[in-house]
Amino acid sequence: TQLLEQSPQFLSIQEGENLTVYCNSSSVFSSLQWYRQEPGEGPVLLVTVVTGGEVKKLKRLTFQFGDARKDSSLHITAAQPGDTGLYLCAGAGSSNTGKLIFGQGTTLQVKP
Amino acid sequence: DARVTQTPRDKVTEMGQEVTMRCQPILGHNTVFWYRQTMMQGLELLAYFRNRAPLDDSGMPKDRFSAEMPDATLATLKIQPSEPRDSAVYFCASGLVQAAGTNEQFFGPGTRLTVL
């Protein structure tokens, strides 16, 4: 069974601080996605990484896919209150069923 | 701006009642997913469809849950009879799954179900 473990589960920081969220597995994924979910809404896709070692940037967010395509990280620079939310990583298997394996999520609170 | 829509957004019902949740996927997407989200379990996949055909409903309690896609613009999730433990937020998501694709999914706003 493929599993994705996210850490930390909860993070509360002050505005302006940097943070990193990790997503780890013993399984290889063909692609990995990061979503952000705000209270009362559905998850919103932030980025998809496909190639081992790939790095993508979205303003102050930097996403990295591990070389072996088993893990990923999300780094936020100078966090802002608007970054508050639940961050979910999700991996796609090689069979291309369309299914995603979701991590349990990291709840981020950025205090002004 | 294409979006997945879900109705109702909130539903409060009493134990034993039937609940029907509806989803309109994004036009052109060939795969529709139903998820349930709770604080304890996170996001759980209940069932999904490809080109309206059910592919996997192993995540669903079959004695009380049923999922259908009567046409390409409508997916439904029914619970009969509902129980308090079914209280959760139910999400529908759709995506275009292709042979060399990345399986990106687009979520609706969810239906918050409370069973008293």
Contact A97 B106 (CB under 8 A): no
Contact B95 A88 (CB under 8 A): no
Residues in contact with A28: Cβ distance below 8 Å, sequence separation at least 6, in sequence order = A68, A69, A70, A94
Which residue in B56, B91, B102 is closest to A42 by CB distance? B91
Identify whether the C-beta of residue B37 lies closer than 8 Å to the C-beta of residue A40.
Answer: no
What residues of chain B lie within 8 A of the CB of A99, using their CB? 33, 45, 48, 56, 103
Residues in contact with A90: Cβ distance below 8 Å, sequence separation at least 6, in sequence order = A4, A32, A33, A34, A35, A100, A101, A102, A103, B105
Q: Chain B contact for A102, CB < 8 A?
A: yes
Q: Assess whether pLDDT exceeds 90 at residue B1.
A: no
pLDDT attached to residue B108: 97
Please report where in the chains the tokens 């088993």 appear, as a residue. A70
pLDDT attached to residue B97: 85
Q: Chain B contact for A39, CB < 8 A?
A: no
What residues of chain B lie within 8 A of the CB of A48, using their CB? 102, 104
Q: Assess whether pLDDT exceeds 90 at residue A98.
A: no
pLDDT category at B41 given cuts 50, 70, 90 is confident
Phi, psi (degrees; rounded to nearest 5) at B85: -70, -10
Interval A81-97 mean pLDDT = 89
Which residue in A40, A50, A100 is closest to B105 by CB distance? A100
CA separation (Å) from A38 to A60, A82, B22, B51? 18, 10, 21, 30
For A29-43, A87-101, B21-35, B53-67, which range has the lowest pLDDT when averaged over its residues?
A87-101
pLDDT category at B10 given cuts 50, 70, 90 is very high
Phi, psi (degrees; rounded to nearest 5) at A63: -115, 140
CA separation (Å) from B112 to A108, B9, B13, B15, B109? 22, 6, 11, 15, 9
Please report where in the chains the tokens 């539903």 appear, as a residue. B11
β-pair partners for B47: B34
- CB < 8 Å from A in window 34-53 of B: 42-43, 45, 48, 50
Give the pLDDT confidence of B60-80 residue by residue, as tens digits.
988 999 999 999 999 999 999
pLDDT attached to residue B98: 80
pLDDT attached to residue A84: 97
Contact B107 A98 (CB under 8 A): no
3-class state of residue A83 by DSSP: helix
Distance CA B11, CA A3 (A): 32
